[in-house]
Chain A
Amino acid sequence: MSFLEVTQWLLEGFSTTLLLFAFTLILSLPLGLVLMFGTTTKFWPVKILTRAFVYIIRGTPLMLQLMVVYYIPGIVFHYSVLKWPIFGGNVPLAQFCCALFTFVMNYACYFSEIYRGGIQSIPKGQYEAGQVLGMTKSQVFFKVILLQVVKNILAPVSNETITLVKDTALANIIAVTEIIFFAERALNLHNIIWPMFYTGVFYLGFNALLTFIFNRLERKLSYIRS
C-alpha cells in the first residue's frame, strides 16, 4: 500500500473518530448538567439513583461499559442490538450508536462531577451579594455565578475533551470503523505495521487544534479572578 492509500484509509477512519467525538461532546455536556442537578437535589430518591449511576460509571472501565452495552441485550434478552429495528439492519450504524451511547453516559458522569465542583467552588458571598442587591435567584445564577463557573471548569473540561479524543479508539473493540480499525486492517491485509504509528499524527494534530482553542478561551476569561 502506498502512503497515499494508507492516508486515505486513515482519513476515512478519522472522520468516524471525529463524528463520535463531536456527537459525544455535544450530547454529554448538557446531559452532565442534568446529572449534576440529580446528584445535588434535595429529593433523595433521585439523588441516590443518580449518585449510584455516577459511581458505577466512574468506577468501571469504559471498555467494559462498551461491551456491556453491545453484548448484554443479545445475551440476556436474546435480542441483539444489531437487529434493533431503529438501525434498519445497518450494522455499522448500530455499532456506532452503541459506542456513542456508552461514551455519552460515561462523559456525562465526568462532566457532572466537574460542574458540581465548579459550582461549589463559588464562594457563598457571591450569592449573598446578589441577594442583598435585590436580585432573584435566577438572576444571581445567570448574571453572577455562571460565568465564574465556566471559568473555573474550563481547564478540567478541556482535559476531559482531549481524553475523549483518545478514548474514541476504544470503540474499535465493538468494530466501530474508527482510525485504529483501519490501521489494523492494513496490518492484517497487507502485513504493514507503520499505519498504526501513523495514526498518532492524526490524534496529535487534532489535539493541537483543541489545545489552541481552549488556550484562547482560557486567556479570554483570564480577567476573572476572585
Chain B
Amino acid sequence: MAILEVKNIHKSFGKEQVLKGIDLSLEKGEVLAIIGSSGSGKTTLLRCINFLERADKGEICVNSQVIFDAQREKKYTEAEIRRSRLNFGLVFQQFNLFPQYTVHRNLTLAAEMLEAKGLKGEDKKRVLSEIASRADKLLEQVGLSEKKGAYPVELSGGQQQRVAIARALMLSPQILCFDEPTSALDPELTGEVLRVIENLRGDDRTMIVVTHEMEFARKVATRVIFMADGVIEEEGDPEEVFTNPKSEKLRSFLSSSLEKF
C-alpha cells in the first residue's frame, strides 16, 4: 500500500505554469530522489506536498486517505492544513533554525506546544521530560550532543543542517522531505550532512530528497525522478536512470551536471 500518492498536481505562479500534472506514489521505506535543473519545479512540488504552497489542481493522499483535494469546494482551514502537515517533515536549504533558541530548544519548542498543551502538574512534567530526552537522542543520532546548549550562529552550516534534520525528526513524521539540503553549504561540509541522511535509511523511514548531488542520489535513493519543465520526464531505479537515461533531456542534464568544468 502506498504511503504517499500525489495525483495530477498543477501549480502556477501568475501566468507561469510551474507544475503541469505531477503523479507519483511512494511506498513505505522508499527513498525518492528528485533531480532536475533549476526551474524544473522540483522545489515547488516539495512545497506543495508540505502545504507551503497550495496546488491549483490535484490530490494528495497519505495512507490512502485524501488529505488535500484542490477540487474540494470548502476551503481548507488552517487547522486542517496543520494536521495534514504533521504527516511530513521538511528540511530547508537554508536550515531556518530559530536563532534565539539553543540547539536543544530548537528541537523541543514545537513538540512541547503540540504535546504538552493543556497538561498540568505531573502529567506535564512527564511529557516535557520525555520530549527533552527524545531531543537528546536525536542530537546524539546526528552527532551533536555536545552542542545542545549552543546557539545556531555558533555552529557551522553543516552542523546547523544536522540540527535542522534532528528538529524535523522530533515529531516523527511519516515522510521526511529535504529541499536541496546541501546547496547552501561549502563543499567540504556537504559530506557530514549527506552521511546523516544516508544513516536515516532503514527503520522503514520514507524520504523525499530534492538534490543536486548526483552521486548521493545514486547511492542512497531507491528511486529517482527526473523533472523538467514541470513534468516528470523520467523515473526509475537509480542505476537505470543514471547509466541508461532514455530521454534526450536527462542525457544532457546528466552530462552537464557531471562535467564540472
Contact = CB atoms under 8 A, between A and B. Distances in A.
Interface in B85-132: 85-86, 88-90, 92, 94, 96-100, 109-110, 113-114
Interface residues of B, number: 27
Interface in B31-61: 50, 52
Nearest to A144: B98
B82 interface: yes
B171 A133 contact: yes
A143 B113 contact: yes
Given A139-B113, A223-B151, A225-B153, A131 B85 contact: yes
A143 B112 CA distance: 12
A134 B99 contact: no
B90 A148 contact: no
B99 A225 contact: yes
Contacts of B16: none
B96 A125 contact: yes
A132 B85 contact: yes
Interface in A82-119: none
Contacts of A60: none
B110 A125 contact: no
Contact of A123 (B85, B94, B153): B94
A151 B100 CA distance: 10
Contacts of A132: 50, 52, 85, 88-90, 168
A224 B113 contact: no
A134 B171 contact: yes
A135 interface: yes
Nearest to B167: A133
B78 interface: yes
A66 to B, nearest CB: 40
Given A143-B109, A223-B151, A225-B153, A134 B114 contact: yes
A129 interface: yes
A128 interface: yes
B100 A148 contact: yes
A226 B113 contact: no
A8 interface: no
B100 A147 contact: yes
Contacts of B86: 134
A128 B78 contact: no
A133 B94 CA distance: 16
Nearest to B173: A132
A151 B99 CA distance: 11
Interface in B10-26: none
28 contacts: A123-B94, A125-B94, A126-B96, A128-B92, A129-B96, A129-B98, A132-B52, A132-B85, A132-B168, A133-B110, A134-B82, A134-B85, A134-B110, A134-B113, A134-B114, A134-B171, A135-B113, A136-B78, A136-B82, A137-B78, A143-B109, A143-B113, A147-B100, A151-B100, A223-B100, A224-B99, A224-B151, A225-B153
Given A132-B168, A135-B113, 20 more contacts: A125-B96, A128-B52, A128-B92, A129-B92, A132-B50, A132-B88, A133-B109, A133-B110, A133-B168, A133-B171, A134-B82, A134-B110, A134-B113, A134-B171, A135-B82, A135-B110, A144-B98, A148-B100, A224-B151, A225-B153
User: 10 smallest A-B Cβ distances: which pairs?
Assistant: A133-B110, A129-B96, A125-B96, A225-B153, A132-B90, A226-B99, A224-B100, A147-B100, A134-B86, A224-B99
